[in-house]
Amino acid sequence: MSTAAAAPEPQAQPASPGSSEPRPGGRFAVLQRVAQGELGSLRVLLGLVVIWGIFTIANERFLTATNLVNLSLQIAATGMISIGVVLVLLLGEIDLSVAIVSGLCASIMAVLVEQHGWAAAPGIAAAIAAGALIGLFQGSVVTRFGIPSFVVTLAGLIGWQGALLLVLGDTGTVNITNPTITDLAGKFFTGATAWIIAAVVVALFALSSLDARRRRLRAGLVAATPVVVAVRVAAVALVSFGVVAVLTEDRGVPLALVILIAFVVVFDFIVRRTRFGRHILAVGGNAEAAHRAGIRVDRVRIMVFVLGSALAACGGILFASRLLAVNQSSGGSDLLLLAIAGPVIAGTSLFGGRGTVWSALLGGLVIGSISNGMDLLALPSSTKYMVTGGVLLAAVVVDAAARQRRQRSGRV
């Protein structure tokens, strides 16, 4: 259901005289743009096809409706955390505390609702507010004292683990029975409702594509032709209705997946179409230049850390809803690795200023498919960690190589 193609794609610059680089209009233009880190969605989709093909050959249950519904539930919570990770990465920073923050905030919600009798809505709001306050604290420390975000959030990774144990107390586990919370991951859409959701997704993508084309033409920039827009809309429609057709063969379209896509759409709009989003990209691209342009760099950094931790809290709530409990291991295991690996694999640069919010969904789908496929093959945890770590390292190397190639060609 990706609408990553809606984002205006950067235009390749003409090769300088005597340069050995292929010209953007030539036969190798697409390969050149992929090598420079552009057309990331195309690269990810091709990789996803390969991954699904390998696991389907290895285990015929991989592409069954039941497993795909399970996969969508697995990536929903991780993808939610990854949205916040994308925002932080676009800023050129890193947040190593998002996973444990998700577990801590989910525990706060569970304790308030299940042990203190709060209603679901106030409990969820309190968890998200706790996440925002954590982000405010960590972002303020980073900006006020000039400490690298790596160090501050690494301390948070350790400190918030202690807070998690404190919140859970002696029991160590809190079961979640509130139907409003459990329905977040336990509710599925079938029949006409599921098809209407797909139709809304296609309609929103079509409107976004037409609006992007109109804006580019008004600004005197090169824009996609009507035929290209129509092909993109048709492709999204094919994927959207195909996904609904497959998922409804089992339990239906999960509410958690709908929530994830809605958050991706909203934050993609914020990054691409609002002043705040442009400020994030500007600070991530060159903080000094952004400061000289009048952008309040410290405020942008703090707000991004606030959003990152608040989205981590939302992801933790979805995890708690799916598992029907929180415990001392909530936010642990390989969650941090998966939440960061997904966006990086999908093309969000670790160096800041480049990437899209859709990489949270696409990357989550890739890394989730790898994890799910290895689970179906009953591979040991040692193998899963090594494979996932290797994929992340490969993605980082590709990102660094693309950045070096852009620098050699004189592009930002």
Residues 102-111 pLDDT 10s: 999 999 999 9
When pLDDT is cut at 50, 70 and 90, the band that residue 15 belongs to is very low
Residues 185-225 pLDDT 10s: 999 999 999 999 999 999 998 998 898 889 889 988 888 88
Q: Which of 45-49, 120-124, 163-167, 312-316 has the lowest mean pLDDT?
A: 45-49
CA distances to 109, 162, 289, 311, 336 from 329, rounded to whole Å, are 16, 12, 42, 19, 12
Tokens of 49: 């096809």
The structural domains of the chain, with segments of one domain joined by +, span 39-190+248-408
- The confidence score (pLDDT) of residue 411 equals 54
Tokens of 213: 């084309």
Give whichever of 36-50, 129-143, 319-333 has the largest mean pLDDT: 129-143
pLDDT at 400 over 80: no
Residues 260-271 pLDDT 10s: 999 999 999 999
| Amino acid found at 297 | V
pLDDT at 73 over 80: yes
- The confidence score (pLDDT) of residue 30 equals 46
- The confidence score (pLDDT) of residue 21 equals 39
DSSP string covering 195-261, please? HHHHHHHHHHHHHHHHHHHHHHHHTT-----HHHHHHHHHHHHHHHHHHHHHHTTTT-EEHHHHHHH
- The confidence score (pLDDT) of residue 14 equals 40
d(CA 201, CA 235): 12
The class that CATH gives domain 39-190+248-408 is: mainly alpha
**Mean pLDDT, range 242-257, rounded to an integer:** 94
pLDDT at 60 over 50: yes
**Mean pLDDT, range 23-35, rounded to an integer:** 47
For residue 231, give every residue at least 6 positions away whose Cβ sits within 8 Å of its Cβ, in sequence order, or none: none
Q: What is the pTM of this model?
A: 0.86
